[in-house]
Amino acid sequence: MSDAPSEFRYKRVLLKVSGEVLMGDQTYGIDMRTVDEVAKAIASVASEGVEICLVIGGGNIFRGLSKAAADMDRAQADYMGMLATVMNALAMQAALEKIGVQTRVQSALVMNAVAEPYVRRRALRHLEKGRVVIFAAGVGAPFFTTDSGAALRAAEMGCDALLKGTSVDGVYSADPKKDASATRYETLTYQEVLAKDLKVMDASAVALMRDSDIPIVVFSIREEGAFRRVMSGEGAYTVITNTPRQA
């Protein structure tokens, strides 16, 4: 594992970005200006030796098709969602490589024309060489969310933390967009997240991070410079660990 600057808390991280973030101000699809901004944020940290792997959700595309999939078999609908994450992964790869960041996309579904198949040891080697690795298609099986995929890959890669970049600057007691009295948690335990049903990630993902003792850090990736600040222990975010601690 490479030596990251001492200002950063973690040397190897998995960044989970919700698909909705990539919509920007649109109601559907991929806003490449937003993708470019996220890519710049990743590049600013990767350029200083932090090893970064990435999982992107598919909600910006798949939820746009949700009405069409409403009467569809759940497994078939989940495979559609996996394909949406591949599209997002390729868009992010293009944005990163445009600014000089070496990137590899590994897909849990075999599609050799556009991505490498997921191979754990190969992914680790890419990280060691300073490449950003984007994991697409979740775990390659229906009935699992991209949150579960992110948690699984974070554990397999031996990450120091799983950072969840959303459009909200942490975990709140209620939806801050709907409830003005909602308060942000500085720290939480995995058990509190599950007991309070806080919807940070799905329960299986939270349980895997608990068992692997990998902290989850929730922050707003739409705020300029937020990724770097969080990596340095600054700014607004929520840290979820096994035992309560100061953020």
Structure tokens at 30: 């991929």
Nearest to 28 by CA among 75, 72, 67, 74: 67
Structure tokens at 191: 């058990």
Give all strands (DSSP E) within the chain, no chain letters.
Answer: 12-17, 51-56, 103-107, 116-117, 132-136, 161-166, 171-172, 184-185, 187-189, 216-220, 238-241
**pLDDT for position 72:** 84
- The pLDDT tens digits of the residues spanning 37-89 come to 999 999 999 999 999 999 999 999 987 566 666 778 888 889 999 999 999 99
Q: Is the pLDDT of residue 246 over 70?
A: no
Full-model pTM: 0.93
Choices 3.40.50.80, 3.30.1330.60, 3.40.50.720, 3.40.1160.10: CATH for 12-241:
3.40.1160.10
The type of residue at 91 is A
Rounded to the nearest integer, the mean pLDDT of the chain is 93
**pLDDT for position 180:** 86
Strand duo 103-107 + 116-117: pairing: parallel
**pLDDT for position 174:** 87
- The pLDDT tens digits of the residues spanning 136-162 come to 999 999 999 999 999 999 999 999 999
- What DSSP string runs through 100-111? T--EEEEESS--
**pLDDT for position 7:** 82
Q: Is the pLDDT of residue 5 over 70?
A: no
Q: Which residues contact 83 (CB under 8 A, 6 or more apart)?
A: 58, 109, 137
